[in-house]
Amino acid sequence: MTAIISYDTIILGAGAAGLMCALTAGQRGRRVLLVDHAEAIGKKILISGGGRCNFTNLHTAADRFLSANPHFAKSALGRYSAQDFLALVERHGIAWHEKTLGQLFCDGSAKQIVALLQDECDRGAVEIALGQPIRDVEHADGRYRVTVGDRTATAPALVIATGGPSIPQMGATGFAYDLARKFGLKVVEPRPALVPLTLGGDETLFRSLSGVAAEVVAKAGKAKFREAALFTHKGLSGPAILQVSSYWRHGEPVGIDFLPDLAPGWLVAVKHARPRARLDNTLGNHLPARLADTLADRIGIDGELGTHTDKAVAAAAAQLADWRFTPNGTEGFAKAEVTAGGISTAELSSQTMEARKVPGLYAIGEAVDVTGWLGGYNFQWAWASGWAAGMAI
């Protein structure tokens, strides 16, 4: 019979949140077992930010996160800030730069962030068990008992940090939700977020623009983002589309302003100044030629602008400022950078991430119903929620 080893806490999932929780608790003197079925820690960190890891965002604030409770993330984000993580990065001598919109990246490689986390876990004497499936999780007499491979560990605290099901080909699973439900916690319906949208029907023709990009304002519901949109062979992508995808719901349109710098009356003014100008050529002054031609074709203002009424020309400008696409879906969890929804925040303390009705059970990171915008916000949530639980255990 194998020995049952006792810890102060067992953390399931050695991603960003689990690693931060482990190093925080370990450095506070807690005996920590960190478990992952992958052969290596922090695999998503390694592929993040195009291999340079967009590890935080200087503009982190709760309004940049989606959650059924928009206030939930405030406490953890306020107590462990982007500056706190940046200070850790600097203590490790990792060179970084701000790319755009407060997004901080490593100058070198995402491997440096994983090495930082490993080093800090070592300082906290965190024991890491990799490459073995979690076979069983039980709770009895105030202790959690976890069987991993052929070993069994117990602890009075258990942290769910196994993330969401986005990018299953990298080992991502819905394990966090299964476990949460097993302990009676509610789960907000998970859905792919920060994900390309697909076009069908008579919008299929836009797929022929695959590879064309333009800076736009994209809108879904009340959310709008000014960034690049990219046409793909399946539909729409690029940062502006990924951002609105988190807010988009099936059946709703996505609005695109293709000319966000132009005032509403601009096309009528062009018509009056240059009545012989054509719409496709005029749009070509502002947009890539293939996109300009396709939009002009769809609008149906043929020939010289001067041959059309002001009303028709103004309507064309209005259409260009709020072009309605009706995506028929998303590219799904296989292509989603994150999962929206997850373990309901109503079940958790915003201070500690502990389940209100299951003492000693914690949930952190992407497994929880808190989803950040594109741009380093999701890692900041992983660090902050991991830190909050690590301080409480």
The contact pattern for ligand FDA, residues 246-285, with x = CB under 6 A and - = no contact, is ----------------------------------------
Give the nearest distance from C-beta 354 to ligand FDA in angstroms: 17
Give the nearest distance from C-beta 379 to ligand FDA in angstroms: 3
Which of 5, 28, 38, 331 is close enough to bind ligand FDA by CB under 6 A?
A: 38
Maximum distance among all Cα pairs of the chain, rounded to whole angstroms: 89
Nearer to ligand FDA, 15 or 327 (CB): 15
- Tell me if 49 contacts ligand FDA by CB under 6 A: yes
Residue 355 β-bridge partners: 348
Give the nearest distance from C-beta 336 to ligand FDA in angstroms: 7
CA dist 218 and 234 (Å) reads 18
Which of 337, 347, 354, 369 is close enough to bind ligand FDA by CB under 6 A?
A: 337
Give the nearest distance from C-beta 45 to ligand FDA in angstroms: 6
Nearer to ligand FDA, 196 or 365 (CB): 365
How many residues at the interface with ligand FDA, by CB under 6 A?
Answer: 37
CA dist 16 and 126 (Å) reads 15
- Tell me if 330 contacts ligand FDA by CB under 6 A: no
Which of 10, 22, 32, 53 is close enough to bind ligand FDA by CB under 6 A?
A: 53
- Tell me if 363 contacts ligand FDA by CB under 6 A: no
Angle subtended by helix axes 16-27 and 377-392, to nearest 10 = 30
Q: Residue with the closest Cβ to ligand FDA?
A: 15
What is the residue type of 355? A
What DSSP assignment string belongs to 319-344? HHHSEEE---EE--TTT-SEEEEEE-
- Tell me if 14 contacts ligand FDA by CB under 6 A: yes
CA dist 281 and 294 (Å) reads 12
Which of 65, 96, 175, 177 is close enough to bind ligand FDA by CB under 6 A?
A: 175
- Tell me if 36 contacts ligand FDA by CB under 6 A: yes
Give the nearest distance from C-beta 203 to ligand FDA in angstroms: 26
Q: Nearest-CA neighbor of 79 among 387, 377, 392?
A: 387
What is the residue type of 157? A
CB–CB of 336/330 below 8 Å?
Answer: yes
CA dist 319 and 292 (Å) reads 13
CA dist 110 and 60 (Å) reads 20
Is the four-CA dihedral 257, 263, 264, 265 of positive or negative sign? negative
Structure tokens, 179 = 């476990």
CB–CB of 59/101 below 8 Å?
Answer: yes
- Tell me if 220 contacts ligand FDA by CB under 6 A: no
Nearer to ligand FDA, 153 or 301 (CB): 153
Order of all β-strands in the sheet with 323-325: 323-325, 254-257, 213-220, 223-231, 235-237, 197-198, 329-330
Nearer to ligand FDA, 283 or 384 (CB): 384
135-174 positions binding ligand FDA, by CB under 6 A: 161-163, 166-167, 171-173
DSSP 169: G
- Tell me if 376 contacts ligand FDA by CB under 6 A: yes
Positions that interact with ligand FDA (CB under 6 A): 12-18, 36-38, 43-44, 47-49, 53-54, 134, 161-163, 166-167, 171-173, 175, 337-338, 365-367, 376-379, 382
